[in-house]
């Protein structure tokens, strides 16, 4: 008897891939619901949970990433090592490790929590709004990155002094300085003063 193969064709009634949902939170970071990713970023923005990762090498240099040119939000700008959104119900630490692997093909050799920061940053180019309750993580780089080109255009390792020059010359994400400043105390602890942070 021949083996049966089911073939499903997409009709007009099918909506395509499942939407990506973000976790909406109140000002204290308590979950209050979910929203589709793009709608949460449309002006005026809806407060949602996010994370930002800062990985440094043994010399205290921060690993930056340039967001891929194909991204719909803040394409081509430089930013911290990795940032994103946990899935609803996913612990931010787990999401941070997952996305670092997905975007950069590496895992931190050390990762620690560095507090939270809440901000509202409109992106002047896209008109989208980052209204986020952001969990910060600082750690040390593991293996050299092997970036996914769909996510990351380039990477760079910079000391604090080199970052000042690069930040003056190149476009950076609207949220970068806010999350960096909030993470600096933990960056200093993790690097032990290396890199000038």
Q: How far apart are CA 48 and CA 41, in angstroms?
A: 9
Cα–Cα distance measured from residue 163 to residue 112, given in angstroms and rounded to the nearest whole number: 22
Q: Residues with catalytic annotation?
A: 83, 132
CA distance 82 to 62: 11
**29-62: b or e for each residue (b if 16 or more CB lie within 10 Å)?**
eeeeebbeeeebbeeebbbbbbbbbbbbeeebbb
List of E strands, the chain: 21-25, 31-36, 48-56, 62-67, 78-79, 82-84, 110-122, 129-140, 152-158
Q: Tell me how far apart the terminal alpha carbons of the chain are, to the nearest angstrom.
A: 70
- Check if the beta carbon of residue 124 is closer than 8 Å to that of residue 174: yes
Q: Nearest Cα to 138, choosing from 64, 52, 60?
A: 52
């Amino acid at each position: 008897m021949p083996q049966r193969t089911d073939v499903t064709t997409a009709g007009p009634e099918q909506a395509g891939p499942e939407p990506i949902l973000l976790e909406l939170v109140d000002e204290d970071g308590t979950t209050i619901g979910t929203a589709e990713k793009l709608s949460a970023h449309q002006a005026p923005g809806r407060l949602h949970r996010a994370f930002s990762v800062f990985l440094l090498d043994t010399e205290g240099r921060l690993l930056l990433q340039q967001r891929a040119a194909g991204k719909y939000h803040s394409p081509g700008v430089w930013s911290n090592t990795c940032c994103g959104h946990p899935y609803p119900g996913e612990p931010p630490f787990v999401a941070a490790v997952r996305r670092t692997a997905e975007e950069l093909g590496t895992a931190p050799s050390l990762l620690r929590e560095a507090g939270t920061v809440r901000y509202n940053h409109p992106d002047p180019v896209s008109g989208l709004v980052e209204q986020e309750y952001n969990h910060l993580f600082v750690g040390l780089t593991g293996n050299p990155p092997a970036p996914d080109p769909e996510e990351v255009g380039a990477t760079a390792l910079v000391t604090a002094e080199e970052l000042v020059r690069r930040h003056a010359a190149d476009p950076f994400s609207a949220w970068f300085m806010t999350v960096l400043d909030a993470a600096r105390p933990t960056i200093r602890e993790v690097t032990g003063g290396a890199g000038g942070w």
